[in-house]
């Protein structure tokens, strides 16, 4: 978990950002390069970008990822990059790249392999299933179920409020990374709130829920809070992630560990 904050980047958190097996990322937020640098992950090691939707806090780091690879870590463009996303995302990201660095990213952009299939499998063996979620329809919102049907499968919710499709996918997985972008008093169903996580945790008692995309400051980081720095009292199967959380599967269980970043 290279970043765990929502669009407003609460104190102590970069934008929500997940790295899988050291080479696959979910979305590419504005803080993606900072997150990867902080974790000592070379940007040229990234093989796959899974896009959940096209809000700025999820894709505005994409031009910087390409820029760094093209001119620093993979100048010969020998390392392939695959983007898995819904139809229409390619055009959106191209416009973003041209707006950010006109004429500088066309060559590397042309080398990307684009996959818009709802289901598929990477050369590494990891498979996915993309499914629609409850969010702003104008940004084409999806979640992903990785290695569905296999032991240890896991879900990433993307940005989503409570919806049956997402909850069904979570209940068929062993772990889920789920956003909680709104406090209880916000009148919207586009994100999960603390009470929604509580309700889901009770329905999916056997699933490990990892909360990300949170509005809550990392406790103790700053004397003045953005909204709050107090975590809700979660059920036992819920863990409120902070930047640097590492997840490893051991048998049927998910083991949690914290990586402390250097300054």
Tell me, what CATH number does 245's domain have? Answer: 3.60.15.10
Largest interatomic CA distance in the chain: 52
The Cα–Cα gap between 141 and 135 comes to 6
- Which residues neighbour 197 within 8 Å (Cβ) at sequence distance 6 or greater? 178, 180, 209, 211, 232, 234, 238
Return the pLDDT at 263: 44
Separation CA 227–CA 215 (nearest Å): 7
pLDDT of residue 259: 76
pLDDT for 253: 85
Inside any domain, residue 10: no
Could you give the CA distance from residue 232 to residue 240 in angstroms, rounded to a whole number? Answer: 9
Whether residue 196 is contained in a domain is answered as: yes
- Low-confidence stretches of the chain (pLDDT < 70) are 260-263
User: Is 193 inside any structural domain?
Assistant: yes
Q: Does the residue 63 lie in any domain?
A: yes
The predicted pLDDT at position 262 comes to 58
Assigned domain for 12 exists: no
Instruction: Determine the structural domain holding residue 231 and report its residue range.
Output: 18-258
Give the up-direction half-sphere exposure of residue 57: CA atoms within 13 A in the CB hemisphere. 18
Q: Using a cut of 0.85, tell me whether the model's pTM lies above it.
A: yes
Residue 238 counted as domain residue: yes
The span from the CA of 13 to the CA of 33, in Å, is 14
Separation between Cα atoms, residue 68 and residue 82, nearest integer Å: 16
Count of the separate structural domains present in the chain: 1
């Amino acid at each position: 978990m290279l970043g765990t904050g929502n669009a407003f980047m609460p104190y102590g958190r970069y934008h929500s950002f997940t790295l899988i097996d050291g080479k696959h990322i979910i979305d590419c937020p504005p803080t993606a390069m900072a997150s990867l640098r902080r974790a000592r992950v070379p940007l040229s090691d990234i093989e796959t970008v899974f896009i959940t939707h096209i809000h700025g806090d999820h894709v505005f780091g994409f031009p910087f990822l390409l820029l760094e690879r093209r001119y620093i870590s993979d100048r010969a463009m020998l390392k392939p990059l695959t983007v898995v996303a819904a139809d229409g995302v390619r055009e959106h990201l191209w416009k973003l790249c041209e707006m950010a660095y006109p004429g500088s990213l066309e060559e590397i952009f042309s080398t990307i392999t684009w996959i818009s299939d709802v289901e598929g499998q990477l050369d590494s063996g990891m498979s996915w299933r993309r499914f629609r979620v409850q969010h702003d329809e104008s940004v084409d919102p999806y979640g992903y179920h990785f290695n569905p049907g296999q032991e240890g499968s896991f879900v990433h919710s993307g940005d989503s409020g409570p919806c049956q499709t997402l909850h069904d996918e979570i209940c068929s997985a062993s772990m889920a990374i789920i956003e909680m972008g709104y406090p209880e008093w916000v009148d919207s169903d586009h994100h999960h709130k603390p009470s929604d996580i509580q309700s889901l945790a009770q329905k999916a008692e056997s699933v490990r829920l990892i909360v990300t995309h949170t509005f809550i400051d990392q406790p103790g980081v700053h004397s003045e809070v953005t909204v709050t720095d107090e975590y809700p009292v979660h059920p036992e199967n819920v863990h409120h992630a902070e930047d640097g959380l590492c997840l490893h599967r051991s048998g049927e269980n998910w083991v949690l560990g914290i990586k402390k970043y250097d300054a």
